[in-house]
Amino acid sequence: MPELPEVEALARDLAGRLDGRAIVRVDIANFSCLKTYDPPITALAGGLVDGVSRRGKFLVFDVGGTYLVLHLALAGWVRWKDEVPKLPAKPNSKSPLAARIVLDDGSGLDITEAGTRKSLALYVVRDPADVEGIARLGPDPLADEFTRDVLATILADAGKAQIKGVLRMQSNIAGIGNAYSDEILHAAKMSPFKPANSLTDEEVDLLYATIRSELSAAVARSDGLPASELKGEKKSSMRVHGRTGQKCPVCGDVVREVSFADRSLQYCATCQTGGKPLADRRLSKLLK
């Protein structure tokens, strides 16, 4: 899933490409992705793109005061096309194409989603805050408003909830997902199962600094890259996420995994849990 650094890089790249361009039309190829009806999708036709920004994991296109908001979900992506077909995209539930934005110079964007689980969401709204997912976002971890004390309050309010889940919950902190929460906790040498309210003042300091440094470094690595290279850059920079069975680059121990119904987390026992492997509930059930 694209997270804060990749969506930020996409926003910056697209802002440069779309500056001053007018939208001719938006074709919807998979109707399940369009989540709003007022304003209609046709309201974007003829509008100038005034900017592209990021809110958490959402891409926000300002089209003359009407907003196209895009959430790429688990398997969505945006692909720049120097030339798009002149004929409108035909609806096809089996195609990876979800929507196409056609610009006045013949170029455009293909918004795609791989796989059969269609979760990509596209909204046309008068205000980005009209999108429920944006309205309930927590603070952006790279914004000035996200201070050490703000993080401390979030952790305290979360009680005994596992810190991995607290970092991933968008209403707590906007933009961190499964991959970067793994990386942040590895860099901070904290167990993903550690209760949020159990951190000492020194651990809160460390976690805050690590969140800022890990995300800032990822944004810097991605800045200026075309969309086609962002996924590869993210994957190559991961130390533990997605590297089950490989060596931890810090200590050389094997990277381990805990699996859940629809996702998994990766960690290093030596770096994060005092050498103790965490219980993998899915594996435990298979062994019974």
Which positions are catalytic? Answer: 2-3, 57, 263
Question: Residue 101: how many CB atoms within 10 A of its CB?
Answer: 26
As to burial, measured by CB atoms within 10 angstroms (0-12 exposed, 13-18 middle, 19+ buried), residue 260 is: exposed
Alpha-carbon distance of 57 to 41, in angstroms, equals 22
Contact 266, 240 (CB under 8 A): yes
Q: Please give the torsion angle defined by the CA atoms of residues 183, 188, 192 and 196, in that order, rounded to the nearest 10 degrees.
A: -130
Distance from C-alpha of 164 to C-alpha of 182, rounded to nearest angstrom: 8
Cα separation values, 253 from 52, 193, 249, 283, Å: 42, 19, 8, 20
Q: Output DSSP code: residue 248.
A: P
Nearest to 192 by CA among 142, 256, 243, 136: 256
